[in-house]
Amino acid sequence: MKRIMFCLICIFVGITLSFSVQAQESNLTRDFGIGLQGATPEFGGVSFRYTGLAPVYLQTVGRFILSDQNSDHMLGAGVSYAIFEHQGRWNLSRLYFTLEGAWRYERRMHAIIRKSEITTQHEKTRDYTTTTLGGGIAFGGELVFSLGGIPLGLNVEVGQGFGREKTDSESKGLAGVYVGMGIHAYF
């Protein structure tokens, strides 16, 4: 199984590099990007980027999940400032600082089964909601290269986050290191 995964990764990297070399010097500076962005432990979704104000970049991230009685919604935004950008022949790289914030609402229905004295079961559902509001500052990097003529950007960031999580019964502060990753296609 490990050999198969290794072969698939090698094939993917080979195809990516092949398309990148064939694209020669394509225009990697586009104003809009769409993709996926996530950060540990619980934020992430579909992402939209605007790079037309370079070296300042704007980004929004959101998701809306509704499954039966359960729901999970998230909305985030960030402002980045590129401290270093370099455009080579086949890629564009940038290092940046970013200030980000996000809101998340999660609702879960749990079934509680109780047995009575007459050995009949009663099912009761309880609604649990969690609201999380967080923010943070991060340092990251992005590598943009052409894949079949489409600029594709891969980014990684590490930062310090803080926030507050409120459940039905308690409210607590949150703080810690977070890691984020994303992939975007620019047009």
Q: What is the pLDDT of residues 51-87, one digit of tens each?
A: 999 899 999 999 888 777 788 899 999 999 999 999 9
Q: Return the DSSP state at 148.
A: T
**Percent of the chain whose predicted confidence (pLDDT) is above 90:** 51
Asked if residue 151 has a cis previous peptide bond (ω within 30° of 0), the answer is no
For 150, counting Cβ atoms within 10 Å of its Cβ (0-12 exposed, 13-18 middle, 19+ buried), the class is: middle
> Residue 139 in 3-state DSSP?
strand
Dist CA 179 CA 160 (whole Å): 9
Average pLDDT across the chain, whole number: 83
pLDDT band of residue 127 (cuts 50, 70, 90) is confident
* pLDDT given for residue 60 in this prediction: 94
Q: Bigger pLDDT: 25 or 97? A: 97
Tokens 């080979």 map to which residue? 14
In this structure, the dihedral spanned by the alpha carbons of residues 68, 70, 71 and 72, taken in order and rounded to 10 degrees, is -130
Hey, CA dihedral for 12, 141, 46, 19, is it positive or negative?
Answer: negative
Judging by DSSP bridges, how do beta strands 70-87 and 171-186 pair with one another? unpaired
Nearest to 140 by CA among 125, 121, 153: 153
**What residues contact residue 52 under an 8 Å CB cut-off, 6+ apart?**
31, 32
> Residue 8 in 3-state DSSP?
helix
The answer to whether the beta carbons of residues 115 and 148 sit under 8 Å apart is no
